[in-house]
Structure 1
Amino acid sequence: MIQVNGLKKSFKLSKKQMMENGNKDKFKVAVKGIDFQVHDNEIFGLIGPNGAGKTTTMRCLATLINPTEGSVNVNGFDGASEGEAVRRELAFLTNELKLDTHFTPEYTTKFFGRLHGLEENVIEERMNHLFDYFGVTPFKFTKIADLSTGMKQKLSIVVSLIHDPQVIIFDEPTNGLDIITARAVTEYLKELKQRGKTIIISTHMMHVAEKLCDRIAVIMDGEIKAIGSLDDIYKLTGKDNLDDAFFKLYDISGGQQHV
C-alpha cells in the first residue's frame, strides 16, 4: 500500500524564470499538500493537464526527488529515511527514461537485472517472459538505436519490470505509442493487478483512465480536486463520462473533495 500525507513540493526559480513570469516569488509550488492512499491489487490514476503536478508527485513517490513537506510511505517503508528499500519495492517508468542506444535489448535487460541483484537464471526466465509478451524477442540482439519508438518503449517497460516489483508507477504509460503497443501495455497492467500488484498511472488521456483505473484523483494546479471511483466522480460532477467530468471540475474551486 502507498500512503501519501501532506505532500508538497516547491522548486526554486531562476532569475530568468522570475522575470519571464513577472513573479517576485523565488519558488514555484508544484504540489500543494496532497493526501491519498493506493491499495494493493488496485490501479490508481492521477489525471490532469500538463503541469498539474502529476509527474512531480510520482517522482516523490519513487524517491527520485524529496518532498518539501509531507511524507510518502510505500509498503511500510518511509520515502525519506528508507529510500533504498522503497526503490527495491517499485518500478518507475517515465518517457524520459533513456536507454543506451549502443547496446541490445538482451544486454540492457540483463544489466538491469544484475543491478537488482537477481540470479542469472531468474533474469533469463523473466526476460524471456517479458520479451515474448511484448514482442521484443525478434529484436533481442538488435541495437537499441535501430528499434522503433514503440519497441523502445516496450523495452523500457521490460527493464522497469525485470525485478518483478510489488509497486508499479507509470507516468503516461501509453503516451506516443501506436494503438497495438498501447493495447499491449494496458492489458499487461491489468494482468499485474490480477497478480496483486499496486499500480499508479498518470495520464491526460481520459479513455485510458476510464478503462484501467479502479480509483482516480483529479489533480489541477498542484491540488487534488476530486478523488474516488469513476462512479463517485460522475456523481460529484453530474456527468456520465470522465472527459466531461474532468472539464466540469475546472469550475470547482477549493481543495480536495473526497467523494
Structure 2
Amino acid sequence: MVSFPLPAKLLKRIAEIPGERDSIVLCPDFEMGTWRYRQLAEHLFDWLPDVALRPKEREAFLFEPSKTLARSCRRLFDTDDPSKRGEVGEILLHAACRQEFGTAPFVARLFYKMRTNDSVTSVDVVHVLMNEEGQLELWLGEAKLYDDVQAARYKALASVEPLWSPDFLTEMKALIGPKIDEHAPYERELAWLFEEETSLDQIIKRIVVPICIAADFDATKLSSERSKEYLSSVTDELNAAKKYFAERIPAEVNFVVIFIPLDCKGKLESAVNRRVQSFL
C-alpha cells in the first residue's frame, strides 16, 4: 500500500496553552493586509482524500486526481443543501489533529457517520494515537464552524457530552469495531479494544476529546497582520475556551481545545462551496 505524506502546513500554531496535550490556536496567517481565507479554502481540498477515503481508495489519486477529489466531495459534503458547509469544520479538525498531534484515522468517515440510532451523532473525527507512555489513545472529536465564538462553545459542549456515556460507547463499539480497516495503525490493539468482551473502562481511560472552535473573531476582522495585539487577543480567547470546557467536562475526561479564529465564516464557506460544486 502506498504511504501518503501529509499536505504541507498552511495553518500555523500561533498560540498555545502548554500541557500534557497543548490547547492551540491555528491561523492561515495574513497576506497583503488580508486574512488568507482563499488560501485556506484551497488547502482544505489537499486534505479531502485523507478525510473522506479509505487508504486503498486514496491510491487512485496518483493516476486519477480529479476523479479522486470528486469522489471525496460526494463522500464528505452535503450535496442536497450546499448553503450548509459544516463539513469545513470537520476538515479543519481532522487536519489539526493530524498535523499538530500526530493522530491517524483508523476507520473511514463513511462508516462512523452511518449509525444505527441517534445516540451516535457527536463524532467528527475518529483517530488513534500511541502516546509517549506506550498507551493507545482514542481521539473522538467535535468541530463547530460558527459566526459567534460563544455559540460555538455552547454547541460544542452539547455535542461532546455523550462521548463518555455508557450508551454512546456501547453503540460506538458495535458500529465501529467491525469496520476497522485491516491496514489501520495499531490494528491488533484496536481489535482487542473494540471486542465485545473488553470492558468499556478500557475505552474510557483512552479517550481524548479534541474540540475545534472555528468561529468569526473580531480581532481577526480588525487585523491586517499577526501583531502582538492580535496574538494577545487570540491567546485570551483560547484561555477562556479552555476554562469554559474545564468547568463543564468531567475531570477524568481528557480534552484539547483547537481555536481557529476566522474573519468571516461565510467567505470561507463560499470559497469552499465554489470548489465543491466544480467537482460534483
**TM-score, normalised with respect to structure 2:** 0.25
For normalisation by structure 1, the TM-score amounts to: 0.27
Whichever structure has more helix as a proportion of its residues is 2
